Amino acid sequence: MSEPIDRSAPVYVAGHNGLVGSAVVRRLEAAGFTNILVAERHEVDLRSQLHVDTWFAAHKPQYVFLVAGTVGGIWANSQRPGEFLYDNMMIHGTVVHSSWVHNVKKLVYLGSSCIYPRLANQPMRESELLTGPLEPTNEPYAIAKIAGIKMCHAYRRQYGCNFVSGMPTNLYGPNDNFDLETSHVLPALMRKFHEAKLTGSREIEVWGSGTARREFLHVDDLADACLFMLEKYDEDEHVNIGT
């Protein structure tokens, strides 16, 4: 599919209040989309196939961005592994399945770079997926994300669905989560430095050994990539999205 997408087509952004979802909504609005569909969590719990299916039947989205999930940094992942696995498996399962049932023309799913093995060759290429053990601290989350990619592949193969997957690196930007117990590394660092400046503190505590290599991407650049994938990318393989 490389023809431009009709700007009045109904496009559903699952997870529209989040860091990524709100950036995707901003990007779609800027690109002239006039029929952006969203649903609040109290209307549609994305873990419920019944909720999701009923909502899809009523609103008939033609395009879907699946950018919802239970998300967090090392601390949240280590404290709530059951939730990270269950919520994300369910959210991916329900939205992908209903997208097939309701003939969605294209779905863009977002995984995460933590799907790659802990000791993956650098820079991490798409072919590194499932070549070694995962980072133990976020293994349940990564397993759910890998299942999401494989579900898109399986529905492409079995049902001919145009479902594609992008794997963003660490993100930052407006609507980020700055809670020190649940945030990702960059918003946590920003908050710690900001508070140290406000209080005049000369030290902050930074977690980790200092040897980890990280890549950070502004969420608006990711939103550009999401729109690009919607309009231009129709292949089977997931695509890394980084700087």
Ligand X SMILES: NC(=O)c1ccc[n+]([C@@H]2O[C@H](COP(=O)([O-])OP(=O)(O)OC[C@H]3O[C@@H](n4cnc5c(N)ncnc54)[C@H](OP(=O)(O)O)[C@@H]3O)[C@@H](O)[C@H]2O)c1
Q: Mark whether 141 is an active-site residue.
A: yes
Q: Mark the segment that binds ligand X (CB under 6 A) among 15-23, 75-83, 122-130, 153-161.
A: 15-23
Among 76, 95, 108, 110, binds ligand X (CB under 6 A): 110
CA dihedral 225, 230, 234, 240 (to 10 degrees): 20
Is residue 68 at the binding interface for ligand X, with CB under 6 A as the rule?
Answer: yes
Quick check: 171 binds ligand X (CB under 6 A)?
yes
Q: Does 54 bind ligand X (CB under 6 A)?
A: no
State yes or no: residue 67 binds ligand X (CB under 6 A).
Answer: yes
CB nearer ligand X, residue 145 or residue 199: 145
Q: In 16-117, where do the E strands start and end?
A: 36-37, 63-66, 106-110
**Residue whose entry in the numeric block shows the structure tokens 């406000």:** 198
Q: Which residues contact 25 (CB under 8 A, 6 or more apart)?
A: 13, 16, 36, 38
CB 138 within 8 A of CB 80: no
Per rule CB under 6 A, is residue 238 in the interface with ligand X?
A: no
d(CA 55, CA 226): 23
Candidates 13, 18, 84, 146; binder of ligand X (CB under 6 A) is 18
Is 166 a binder of ligand X (CB under 6 A)? no
15 sits near ligand X (criterion: CB under 6 A): yes
Site map (CB under 6 A) of ligand X, residues 75-104, x = contact: ------------x---x-------------
Specify burial of residue 83 (Cβ count, 10 A radius: 0-12, 13-18, 19+). middle
Tell me which long-range contacts 228-232 makes (C-beta under 8 A, separation of at least 24).
Answer: 229/108, 229/164, 229/166, 230/5, 230/63, 230/65, 230/106, 230/108, 231/1, 231/2, 231/4, 231/5, 232/2
Cβ proximity to ligand X, 68 vs 161, nearer residue: 68
Q: Please identify, using beta-carbon distances, which residue of 164 and 171 lies nearer to ligand X.
A: 171
Q: Shortest approach of ligand X to residue 3 CB, angstroms?
A: 27
Active site residue ranges: 141
Q: Can you give the binding site for ligand X, defined by CB under 6 A?
A: 15, 17-21, 41, 45-47, 67-71, 87, 91, 110, 112, 168, 170-171, 177, 184
